[in-house]
Amino acid sequence: MSAVHFDLERFRQAVDAGPVLVDFWAPWCVHCRRLDPVFQEIAGDYAGRLQAGQVNIDDLPQLAAEYHVNVIPTLVLFRDGRAEASLTAPESKARIEAFLREHL
């Protein structure tokens, strides 16, 4: 189970359907690449409880603006269609797990 690539439509559908963890990233962002393997593992570990998806902010700058993502990588947890909490540039998988324990 790996993370989905969101376009605008799939993003809207997903956040309406249940909890979603979104990784805002861009191809030129080196910290984003380092985060990717861990994000894919999180997608697998939390399958069934949480959908994990990625938004390329170069393709969807309107989403980055809408959710005030000024820095990437930023993970945003959506619940009931709303941005519930965010985490910028986590330095370990453990940090993301702690974030999800607190907010999910």
Partner 1 sequence: MEPHWDVLIAGGGPAGYSAALYCARAGLRTLVLEQLSAGGQIALTTQVDNYPGFPEGIDGFELGQRMRQGAERFGARTQLAEVTALELNRPLKTVHTSAGVFQGRAVIVATGANPRRLGLPKEQALTGRGVSYCAACDGMFYRGKTVAVVGGGSTAAADALLLSRLCKKVILIHRRDTLRAASIEHQALLEAPNVEFRWNTTVIQFLGSDRLLGLRLRDLLSGAEAELPCDGVFLCIGRVPATALLQGQLELDSAGYLIADETTRTSIPGVFAAGDVRTKALRQAVTAAADGAVAAHYAEEYLRGAQ
- Which residues are catalytically annotated? 29, 32
By CB under 8 A, is residue 86 in contact with partner 1?
no
Select the residue interacting with partner 1 from 4, 38, 85, 104 (CB under 8 A). Answer: 38
How far apart CA 104 and CA 58 sit, in angstroms, is 28
Q: Give which of 53, 52, 56, 3 is closest to 26, Cα–Cα.
A: 56
CB of 26 to partner 1, least distance (A): 8
Q: In the chain, where does DSSP find H-type helix?
A: 8-17, 30-45, 61-66, 93-103
Select the residue interacting with partner 1 from 15, 22, 35, 63 (CB under 8 A). Answer: 35
Q: Give which of 47, 25, 20, 45 is closest to 35, Cα–Cα.
A: 25
Q: Name the segment binding partner 1 (CB under 8 A); options: 9-17, 49-57, 78-86, 93-101.
A: 93-101
Binding site for partner 1 (CB under 8 A): 28-31, 33-38, 41, 70-71, 88-89, 91-95, 97
